[in-house]
């Protein structure tokens, strides 16, 4: 927390301009600008730049807002919970709730998918406890993927097989429709969750095969016209960066396939005056997607190698992994 407060003091200085993403009723955000009046620890006071916001803007106490600002290394982003709104003075008071980190538009390429995906509420909503459980899930996945060492204890082998069986059951979960990006996911579910709730997600990517364990935070819930399900948007609260790159790589491949499927239909149409320009644009987009996929997969491989398989097994032993598994039975 001390490091985050130092970050806030460095970036949210008096007079600095901050972009505020104001949520809209129909979805999306309205980009507003504010000026920092003062910062007291993690309490940020902003003066908005305009006297009135759009009619459908939703400024509500308790709502989490996205904040953007400029740094020496480019665009930065942070999030704050609105704790007070002075409409007369056009002033907001927000409590900053996460660290300042680089804004990466690549996270927001979105794709409709149909994948095996399970969601569940954790036993506790305390972020640190949820994070510990999430880290344990990731270690289990890495442990299950290891090749047994010569002379490995039988109990350790049994534990690995138990984890593998559990992961196989998750892979066999019924596919669900979702809209995913590198920054979050939107689900259409019968259960009404509350904004701010933490949700554990198990998502299986078929190409390349990989089970992803992610913790999301509910940021929006809207009833659907069928009056049975809710459109529930979550941002990723805890996600391994290698898994984020795998997810973005999968999205890029799906978008590339969609572009390639559109090609024959466009080619069959009579060429118009702008057909040549559109064709060149399509080729450029395809090349861009291929490059993006290659970069994301290469980065995932590098991250995996940096961890080291042998190191991961040793880490499992050092952290009392066998004892943990015995207690779980």
Domain identity same for 122 and 150? yes
Angle at 304 between CA 328 and CA 307, to 5 degrees: 70
What is the Cα–Cα distance from 6 to 39, expressed in whole angstroms? Answer: 11
pLDDT at site 314: 42
Q: From the first residue on, what is the mean pLDDT of each consecutive set of 10 residues in the chain (329 residues)?
A: 82 90 71 90 89 77 84 76 80 87 64 88 92 89 81 82 86 86 89 93 85 91 86 90 83 74 46 51 54 53 45 40 47
User: Hunting for tokens 């990006």 — which residue is that?
Assistant: 181
Query: Which CATH number does the domain housing residue 176 bear?
Result: 2.40.10
Which of 255, 300, 299, 293 is closest to 109 using CA atoms?
255
- Does 228 reside within a domain? yes
Output 49-57 pairs: Cβ under 8 A, ≥24 positions apart: 50/90, 51/90, 53/22, 54/24, 54/30, 56/24, 56/25, 56/26, 57/22, 57/23, 57/24, 57/30
pLDDT at site 310: 38
Out of 179, 205, 240, a domain closes at 240
What is the Cα–Cα distance from 260 to 256, expressed in whole angstroms? Answer: 6
Domain identity same for 125 and 212? yes
Domain count, the chain: 2
Domain identity same for 30 and 120? no
Domain identity same for 95 and 116? no
Please, are residues 76 and 134 in contact by the beta-carbon 8 Å criterion?
no
- Does 148 reside within a domain? yes
Domain identity same for 53 and 148? no
Collapse the DSSP code of 251 into the 3-class scheme (helix H, G, I; strand E, B; otherwise coil) and give the result. helix
- Does 216 reside within a domain? yes
- Does 94 reside within a domain? yes
Query: Which CATH number does the domain housing residue 6 bear?
Result: 2.30.110.70
What is the Cα–Cα distance from 246 to 207, expressed in whole angstroms? Answer: 9
What is the Cα–Cα distance from 150 to 160, expressed in whole angstroms? Answer: 15
- Does 218 reside within a domain? yes
Out of 240, 272, 300, a domain closes at 240
Domain identity same for 49 and 148? no
Out of 240, 261, 292, a domain closes at 240
Domain identity same for 40 and 161? no
pLDDT at site 157: 81
Full residue range of the structural domain in which residue 79 is found = 2-103
Q: How far is CA 74 from CA 7, 69, 182, 259, in A?
A: 15, 9, 19, 31
Domain identity same for 112 and 233? yes
Domain identity same for 33 and 122? no
């Amino acid at each position: 927390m001390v490091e985050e407060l130092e970050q806030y003091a460095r970036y949210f200085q008096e007079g600095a301009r901050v972009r505020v993403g104001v949520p809209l009723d129909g979805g999306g955000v309205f980009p507003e600008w504010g000026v920092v009046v003062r910062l007291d620890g993690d309490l940020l006071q902003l003066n908005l730049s305009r006297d009135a916001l759009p009619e459908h803007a939703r400024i509500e106490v308790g709502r989490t807002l996205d904040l953007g600002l400029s740094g020496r290394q480019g665009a930065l982003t942070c999030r704050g919970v609105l704790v007070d709104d002075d409409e007369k003075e056009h002033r907001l008071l927000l409590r900053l709730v996460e660290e300042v980190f680089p804004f990466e538009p690549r996270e927001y390429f979105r794709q409709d998918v149909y994948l095996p995906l399970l969601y569940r509420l954790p036993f506790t909503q305390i972020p640190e406890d949820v994070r510990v459980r999430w880290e344990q899930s990731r270690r289990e996945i890495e442990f299950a993927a290891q090749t047994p060492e010569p002379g490995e204890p039988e109990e350790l082998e049994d534990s690995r097989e138990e984890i593998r069986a559990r992961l196989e059951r998750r892979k066999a979960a019924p596919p669900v429709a979702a809209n995913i990006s590198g920054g979050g996911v939107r689900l259409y579910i019968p259960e009404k969750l509350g904004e701010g709730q933490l949700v554990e997600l198990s998502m299986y990517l078929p190409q390349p095969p990989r089970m992803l364990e992610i913790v999301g935070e509910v940021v929006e819930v809207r009833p659907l016209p069928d009056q049975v399900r809710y459109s529930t948007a979550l941002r990723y609260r805890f996600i391994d960066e290698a898994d984020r790159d795998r997810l973005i790589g999968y999205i890029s491949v799906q978008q590339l396939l969609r572009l390639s499927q559109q090609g024959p239909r466009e080619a069959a149409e009579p060429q118009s005056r702008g057909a040549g320009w559109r064709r060149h644009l399509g080729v450029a987009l395809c090349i861009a997607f291929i490059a993006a996929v290659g970069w994301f997969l290469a980065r995932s491989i590098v991250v995996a190698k940096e961890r080291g398989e042998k190191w991961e097994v040793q880490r499992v032993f050092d952290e009392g992994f066998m004892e943990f598994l015995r207690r779980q039975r």
